[in-house]
Structures are given as structure tokens and as C-alpha cells.
Amino acid sequence: MPIHLLPQPAPTVPAPAESGADSRRTDAYGRAADEEPVTVRFAGLRLVHAALRRDLTRLPNALRLLQPDEDDKGEALLRHWTFLTAMLTFHHEQQDTRIWPIVRRFAPELRLLLNWLEADHHNLDHSFTRVTTLVRIASRDTGSAWPVAYAMEDLAARLETHLRIEERQLLPRMERVVTGNSRLGGLGELLDLLRSAEGPGTADALAWLLDGVEPALVERLLAECDDDVARNWPHWQATYQRCTAPLWGTAADGLGRVAE
């Protein structure tokens, strides 16, 4: 089942049409109701949030189901957790060094909120690093799987608070101060930054971000990327699915759903 990007903007009431003007209804992005949407505002940020929620829901369950003789699955689980942690760290670095300074410039009234978000980024990064040590142990010793799974869920709850603050208090303000054609926070910008950084590869990151996203939305999102990404996407997706299949099995889509 497809996942959906959060938060969806609230509907707006169109202004009364003037005489002779186009009276078609518009959505929250200012598009006509029958107009095909082109881009998703801040898609890079929204996709990271959705992917983190998806995997922090199913990783604890995968850990609890790990059996003593499933060494390969344990290694795959540890790799995926390590990858998730690396993506979270990169996401925080992108926000702290690139996005927040721009928001501070054009929305200085948000400076205290941004300061708190930066501090919480550091706290979350340290917490994820500590849990990584526990996951490394649990992936080889299933006797400790359940308490480590609970630690994952506790960390997921802390992260959820952080994500909701960004989505409810920050993104709406960014919608007003960042121009609609800006690449800031977009998927294309995120992939460009990944290419220039020492961290997760572009192929793995894109497949992780788009895991479970409905095909029509995938097509829209790939339109924000360069031709090389669009051309390689089917191969990247197939490789990612083969690598993660031992973790999620056939029920992955249901576990990965994010409600609207």
C-alpha cells in the first residue's frame, strides 16, 4: 500500500472570481483542481520524514522476529539501521548548515525555534549512535532483541515529536518565505548534496526515500531530478528491494504506510 507525504497542506478557499475571470477552484498549492501538479514543495524534507517514520515502525518488529540461526538477516538489519542513522545525520546537517540559515534571514522571528531544533538534532544524533551499539549486539544475540526493540520505539517517539514540530510550526512558514520555484529542501537538491558528501550513496538514498510511494507520485518526484537519475531508477529500485526483502517479507507495504 502506498505511503503519503506529511503534512498535506490544508485546503484553502479561493477568492471570489471577478467578472470575466477564471472561476475554477484551486487547491492549497494555488493550482486549479483539474491541473496536473508539477512539483511537491520541500519534497526532500517530507520524504525523509516519511521514510524515517516508515522504517522506525517496522525495524523493531523485524528485530523481535529475528531467530538465532538468521545471521544473514541480522547483518541486513544492522546495515539498514546504520543506513537509516546516516540518512538522519545527513538530514540534520542539511537543515542546520543550509536550510535554517536561509529561514533565519527571511523569518528572524523563528530564530528561537530554529535554535531549539538544532540542539535537538545533536541530542537525537547522539541517541541514535547509542542505540546503534545496542542494535549491533542484538543482531548477533537475539536474547537481547526485545529490550533493544523497545529502545528503538522509544527513540522513534522522541523523533516523532521533533518531526511534528518541524511540520506544523516551520514548514508552513517556509511555504510563505521560500519562492515556489526554489530548489531549497527539494528532492533534486537533496540528491545533489548527497553526491558531494561522504555518506549514503545516491542510489540507496533515492530507493529508500521512494520505498512504498505510489507510482504516480514517484513519476512527479523523478521529474525534479536529472535524466541520469530517472534512467537508473528502475535498476536502483530493484536492487534495493532485493536487499531489503529479507527484512520486511511480503508485508512490507502494509507496515510502511503513513496515514494522511
pLDDT in tens, the chain (260 residues): 344 444 434 333 334 444 444 444 543 333 444 444 456 899 999 999 999 999 999 999 999 999 999 999 999 999 999 999 999 999 999 999 999 999 999 999 999 999 999 999 999 999 999 999 999 999 999 999 999 999 999 999 999 999 999 999 999 999 998 988 899 999 999 999 999 887 789 999 999 999 999 999 999 999 888 899 999 999 999 999 998 988 986 444 433 333 33
* CA nearest neighbour of 229 among 214, 242, 210: 210
pLDDT of residue 29: 33
Cα 12-16-21 angle, rounded to 5 deg: 115
pLDDT of residue 55: 97
Looking at the DSSP assignment, which residues form a beta bridge with residue 32?
A: 26
Q: Cis peptide leading into 7, omega within 30 of 0?
A: yes
SS3 63: helix
pLDDT of residue 28: 35
Q: Where are the domains of the chain?
A: 43-184
Give CA–CA dist 99/176, Å, rounded: 14
| pTM reported for the whole predicted model | 0.81
Tell me if 165 sits within 8 A of 117, measured CB to CB.
Answer: yes
**What is residue 32's DSSP assignment?**
B
CA 8 to chain CA centroid, nearest Å: 14
Give CA–CA dist 243/80, Å, rounded: 9
256, burial (CB in 10 Å: exposed 0-12, middle 13-18, buried 19+): buried
pLDDT of residue 134: 96
CA-to-CA separations, 242 to 57, 146, 245, in angstroms, rounded: 20, 26, 5
* CA nearest neighbour of 64 among 7, 139, 11, 121: 139
